[in-house]
Amino acid sequence: MNFRKGSKRRAEPEINLIPFIDVLLVILIFLMVTTTYSRFTELQINLPTADANVAQQRPNEIQIGVDSRGNYKINQKPISKIDVADLAENLKKAASELAVGTGQTEPIVVINADGSASHQSVIDILEAARLAGLSKITFAAQSHEK
């Protein structure tokens, strides 16, 4: 049953790709213009310096230092740090000695970290201070020499 008049074949539908390509090119140009290309390199940072006057020595301070090799000193006494718990025990002992000598309750922990010390060693000190119950923590900075 052919209901079409005549034997003309019906034209196949076509998809016109030209407007589609035009839209894609506009989107491509937009993305190329708005994209920022950044190159990730090693960060060049300078450690902080302080221009303030030298603070007076406070008797309720625990000075803890760490050098570039990971050696620790609490109040100028070298300690053999095995893990964070041992470091916390040494901080508790230093705080109790300081409390007996000065009568003050919570000392200030001053972290003197070498510029090339690992970040993990500083984080270990912070964690040990938390375990020891010491919440007053500050960092030492070298003074800017003119």
pLDDT of residue 30: 92
Q: In the chain, what are the domains?
A: 51-143 (3.30.420.270)
Could you tell me the sign of the dihedral formed by the alpha carbons of 64, 65, 71, 76, in that order? Answer: negative
CA distance 67 to 117: 6
pLDDT of residue 115: 80
* pTM greater than 0.75 (yes/no): no
CA distance 91 to 70: 16
pLDDT of residue 18: 92
Q: Is 8 helix (H, G, I), strand (E, B) or coil?
A: coil
Helix (H) or strand (E) holding 130: helix 119-131
Which residues of the chain fall below pLDDT 70?
Answer: 1-8, 37-59, 81, 101-104, 143-146
pLDDT of residue 46: 59
Could you give the C-alpha distances from 1 to 4, 8, 10, in angstroms and in order? 9, 15, 16
